[in-house]
Amino acid sequence: MEQAHRLDSSGKLKEIWLSKLVPIGLEEGRLILRAPATFFAEYFISKHRTVIDRALWDVLGEGSVLDIVRDVPEAESRPEKLILDSAPQSPLHPQQRNNLNPKYRFDNYIEGDSNRFALAAARSIAESPLTTPFNPYFVYGGSGYGKTHLIQAIGDYCIRQGTLSRVIYITSEQFINQFIESIKHKRTTDFAQNFRNVDMLILDDIQFIMGKERTQTEFFHTFNSLYQAGKKIILSSDRPPKDLEDLDERLTSRFASGLVTELTLPDYETRVAILTKRADEQRVHLAGDVVDYIASHITTNVRDLEGALIQLIAQSSLLNHQVSMELVKKVVRGIAPRRRYQVSLETIAEKTAAYYGMPLPDLKDRSRKKEIASARQVAMYICHKLTRHSLRNIALHFGRRDHSTVIHAVKTVEDSMNRDNSFRVDVEQILHQIDLTQ
């Protein structure tokens, strides 16, 4: 952990968190830490993954990974005592471990309208990996929507049931880094074999190989090798195959040739179920009004929901604070600051129209001109993010009858913000102008 402190120039690593993580073992390239609660410790690690990985790889070698176990009372369970090996371990080849996180399983993946089809497809693949025709299986959705959990659950199920023995999960960033290292050390043949001699390859965040021609070429050959051998390929991305720009067309066409499913924002009921499930896993009881407040005010993604819960658990267990409504509101403000006030739909419409230099009535008429339609979608997106109005009410405010218009607008704006930095700046500027009026 000292190495993590040294590398953390931003100062984001908190002493109160690090002091609670106790090293208890080192085995097969895995550093094992004990924490008061696995869930919030893993959340902390995920928030600072880059710094932690760099520190770990500097000490133990590239490819080393971190595991966290929950600290349980002695009467309940006595943790196995492991001997620390002070000698740095050589990086392990991917085929020697699957890299799957055991917490990502189907039995703790909350089903809702936002993921029902994607989950059904994932279960079908996991239950019959040798006969299910979906190959590749491509899942896309916004950051924090549950893609990593879902695709790892497929591999986890196959391993647990014994239907497949050689499963590898890897992020695109790790794939790229390992490929670069193999070039440096003239071991590209070994690298290729590591990923082609598997029954299932699960590659997360495939969009990160955009613009990296040599990596794309290598993955193209890996994809073909696995596909021709009848092996399963599971991919995730923040956008559908057709929107993967600066990517070899041979790859995008292959991605689209399989089953493509989307994860969308979880609805209120799903958010409540997620919070309740995660709290139960940590043996923490949350009052109904607490769950309702968090689920009503944090609508961005699953990661932010879990982040709010982690903050509450941390405040309660580490600082001995009661989980009061005042504390809940404080935590929510830190995660979703713009939910702290009630802003009207009309104010949002006015600020959006003013920013784009158009009369307010134009924003509400039936015009399909590109600039007007785009501004209208931005206004609908902001209304959905900053207010608790129903989708139907938002649609009616802008002269539309069907709530699906708002759903389409939200998705379009989110996709555009992911792809176009100037567009993202426009939206943030409008949000800032709305902030100034409150």
Structural contact between residues 306 and 278, judged by C-beta atoms closer than 8 angstroms: yes
Tens of pLDDT, residue by residue over 128-181, are 998 888 999 999 988 888 999 999 999 999 999 999 989 999 999 899 999 999
What is the pLDDT averaged over residues 380-404?
A: 86
CA angle at residue 47 from 4 to 166, to 5 degrees? 90
pLDDT given at position 63: 61
Instruction: For residue 90, name the pLDDT band (cuts at 50, 70, 90).
Output: very low
* Structure confidence by residue, pLDDT tens digits, 212-257: 899 999 999 999 999 999 999 999 998 899 888 888 999 999 999 9
Is there a contact between 417 and 238 (Cβ–Cβ < 8 Å)?
A: no
Q: What is the mean pLDDT of residues 270-290?
A: 87
- Provide the residue type at 150 as one letter: L
Q: Which two tokens stand for residue 244?
A: 């993967």
Is 101 a domain residue? no
- Bridge partners of 170? 203
- Strand ordering across the sheet containing 65-70: 22-27, 30-35, 65-70
CATH number at residue 209: 3.40.50.300
pLDDT reported for residue 85: 34
Q: How does strand 30-35 pair with strand 22-27?
A: antiparallel
- Domain that residue 318 falls in: 271-340
CB 355 within 8 A of CB 429: yes
- Do 140 and 195 lie in one domain? The reply is yes
Rg for the chain (alpha carbons), in Å? Answer: 23
Euclidean distance between CA atoms 434 and 352, whole angstroms? 9
Q: Write the CATH number for 70.
A: 3.30.300.180
pLDDT at residue 68, as a whole number: 67
For residue 98, tell me if it sits in a domain: no
The CATH number of residue 320's host domain is 1.10.8
Residue 11 tokens read as 């100062």
Are 203 and 291 members of one domain?
A: no
Instruction: Name the more confident of 57 and 399.
Output: 399
Identify the band that residue 108 occupies on the pLDDT scale cut at 50, 70 and 90.
Answer: very high
DSSP 130: T
Q: Produce one character per residue of 223-260: b if its CB has 16 or more CB atoms within 10 Å, e if not.
A: bebbbeeebbbbbbbbbbbeebeebbeebbebbeebbb
Give the span between the Cα atoms of 144 and 264, in whole angstroms.
Answer: 10
Which of 340, 369, 390 terminates a domain? The answer is 340
DSSP 66: E
310 and 401 inside one domain = no
Q: What are phi and psi of 181, to 5 degrees?
A: -60, -40
Does the pLDDT of residue 9 top 70, yes or no? Answer: no
- Confidence tier at 83 by pLDDT (50, 70, 90): very low
Calculate the CA 287 to chain-centre distance: 27
How far, CA to CA in Å, does 129 sit from each of 31, 138, 165? 31, 15, 11
Query: Looking at residue 96, what DSSP letter applies?
Result: G
Q: For residues 319 and 331, give the distance between their C-alpha atoms in angstroms, rounded to a whole number.
A: 14
Sign of the alpha-carbon dihedral angle for 235, 28, 59, 192: negative
Q: Does 146 fall in a domain?
A: yes
Answer whether 373's CB lies under 8 Å from 416's CB. no
- The tally of domains found in the chain comes to 4
pLDDT at 391 over 80: yes
111 and 231 assigned to the same domain: yes
23-77 confidence digits (pLDDT tens): 777 766 677 777 765 555 656 655 565 566 667 777 776 666 676 666 554 444 4
Instruction: Give 11's pLDDT tier (boundaries 50, 70, 90).
Output: very low
First to last CA, the chain: 43
Over pLDDT 90: what percentage of the chain?
36
- pLDDT score, position 365: 85
Residues 163 and 254 in one domain: yes
Domain-located, residue 97: no
